Structure 1
Amino acid sequence: MMWLSWRQFRVQALFAACALAVIAVYLGYLGSEIRDAYDVYRANCESLADCAQAKSQFRSAYQNTLLFLATGLALIPALIGTFWGAPLIARELENGTHRMVWNQSVTRPRWLIGKVLLVGLAAVLVTGAAAALLTWAARPFDEVVKEQFDAFVFGARNIAPIGYAAVAFTFGTVVGLLLRRTLPAMAVTLVVFLAFQFFFPNVVRPSLMSPDKARLSMTVEAINQAQNLGSLGGGSVIGGVKIPDAPDAWIAETSPLRTADGKTLSSAKFNGCLDSPPKSGAGGTFGDTAVCLSKLNLHVDVLYHPSSRYWAFQWLETAIYLVLSGVLTAFGVWRIRRRVS
């Protein structure tokens, strides 16, 4: 059974091995380049002012490249589910070749489990190897920038991609088993899993552990350290704030700007500082706007996770995906034993 499954899978395995070799060569080169740039960054970091400029240069040099690679790695599980998982059973059922195997001594559950184990193991190995290579290449950058909880970065580092690959593959397999048509199964797998990859980090991940709470005073310095003021939907909001005692923490939720009595700052006052603040000659990211807002005695309430919880989130999320993958496999075994003819 394993020999037959390997014969059917060998072309995809060869393609994956070649792609992984190309990835390894490129990330090996990129990792060496990042380490050389990191040495230059450390050498130029002689004072706080020099460090800020050197960090900005180091960050801008590689941020877009690493973000693009993280996005690409996030697509690997989706593609595995689409091109390896969905056709695995659907093609057999669509062409009727499953009947030849079932008329031999091989049982339906054994046939399904054998296929899932062989191709699923390959999916996990390919994705895990690509994630390990990217994690190694980006390590100096991650140590400086410290954005390990960013949705794309978190899903492209260390062990989390292994869980993504497992659940994407088993989900595609089950979809193919249910739909029994290859192309519809591939389309459904791709769309649903991409939506799931957006849903889980933004909705489920923040609630996997109870967050800590903090109240941050919106001083000039605090406002200038934020990433943005306002939003497309309007409102007195500020994004990308930092906690002074835990600058590497993951901010899971930030309240609107609030006055000393706890009420949300009115849009009129916020827009007044944003659009036409009094001239003060202040520098910084938001300049006069930061000075104007700081005079209103504002604060925000945040929910956050300390950086020390990073590995707990990695293990917990990976475990959830692996358990979900096991549940999908068990459902597939039940389905093929009871319903598929």
Structure 2
Amino acid sequence: MNTFVWLTWRQHRWTILATASLALLAAFTLVSTEGGKVGSMMMAGFYGLLAQLLFGGVISMFWGAPLIARELEERTYFVAWGQDVTPTKWLRGKMLVLGPLAVLLGALVGLGDGFGGPQESWGMFEASPFVQGGYAIFGLALGVFIGLLSRHVVTAMAATLVFYTLARVLPAVLLRDHYLPSKRDIARWESTPVVPHRGLEIGNGFVGADLRPVSVPDKCAELPNPNSCMRNTKTAIGTYVDYQPIERLGLFQFIEFIVFVLLAGVLFAVTFRLLRRGGGWKPSRSHRRIDSVAEPAQTVQSTPDTAAAHAEG
């Protein structure tokens, strides 16, 4: 195992060092600007926040995507995956080194929150070691999986960027605010529903006599201010607002970490299964056809009788 660790470091040391430098620089700027703008560090904090958005993508494109795709594209897997080192053993050894490093560097990027201020805020959701570590290990798994399927480095990197972006955007837009049922504050017409300090508003509307949300009739929706219409027609008895309290921020960050770790686990499981069954890395029909043509040609050239016949001709 020590030999495999050394070999992995030897092959990927420059990529690891470059990524580690990026993580350290981002962490420094995020921590330095934490709590607000600090003179000339204002732009540094912005770039630190940008690093939090992109760091998992960097891991997926430059660590994960080329890992298997380069071996398949350059056909060096004939040497790398010999009799003593099976494809699954080779990948397992790589992941034992690169996986923890990716999580560690991702957690480092999540230490600071740039201009977030001294208090927690839903706007700084991704400024968390848990969240960034989850993004990093998911990006690594996604890149390795797509690299195995594409068998081409540039294609794998481009496809990984697209799918990683989708995997980041869709949960943030559709799932993140609903990991737990939201709380609701209801107020009658004499007052207004209130979202607690630093809470995240999810939605609002009108409530009926049973204190459940009611839809706005068309005749009220057409008016500039439907509140008076809803009140006069007794369609509603008041208004409501749904929100997530700030006390749930840490729990939601941990839930998102678990979601991306589980997704990474599924991708790793499928990748190892494909490698074990030979899918995606065995020579294709075109490769076998080229090899079958090349071997007879070499045999013909190396046969003494054939050479003598050509000499006589």
Q: TM-score, normalised by structure 2?
A: 0.73
2:21 alignment counterpart: 18
Residue 209 (structure 2) pairs with residue 264 (structure 1): no
For residue 159 of structure 1, give the secondary structure of its aligned residue in structure 2.
Answer: helix
- How far apart are the structure 2 equivalents of 1:248 and 1:29? 23
Q: Matches of residues 1-341 of structure 1 in structure 2 within 5 Å?
A: 1-31=4-34, 34=36, 69-132=48-111, 134-135=112-113, 141-143=117-119, 146-148=120-122, 150=123, 153-216=124-187, 242-243=194-195, 246-255=196-205, 262-264=214-216, 266-270=220-224, 299-338=238-277, 339=279, 340-341=281-282
- How far apart are the structure 1 equivalents of 2:167 and 2:133? 16
- How far apart are the structure 1 equivalents of 2:21 and 2:47? 21
Contact kept in structure 2, 1:85 and 1:168, CA below 8 Å: yes
| Structure 1 residues without counterparts, runs of 5 or longer | 38-60, 223-240, 274-291
Deviation digits for residues 169-189 of structure 1, max 9, x if unmatched?
101110101111111111111
- How far apart are the structure 1 equivalents of 2:9 and 2:182? 46
For residue 103 of structure 1, give the secondary structure of its aligned residue in structure 2.
Answer: coil
The one-letter code sitting in structure 2 at the alignment partner of 1:264 is V
Stretch of structure 1 that moved more, 174-183 or 20-29? 20-29
Spell out structure 1 runs of 4+ moving beyond 6 A: 257-261, 292-296
Inter-CA distance 34–147: structure 2 relative to 1 (3 Å threshold): closer
The one-letter code sitting in structure 1 at the alignment partner of 2:216 is T
CA-based RMSD of the aligned residues comes to 3.3
Offset of residue 128 of structure 1: 0.9
Q: TM-score, normalised by structure 1?
A: 0.67
1:234 alignment counterpart: none
Matched-pair identity in %: 27
Alignment coverage as a number of residue pairs: 266
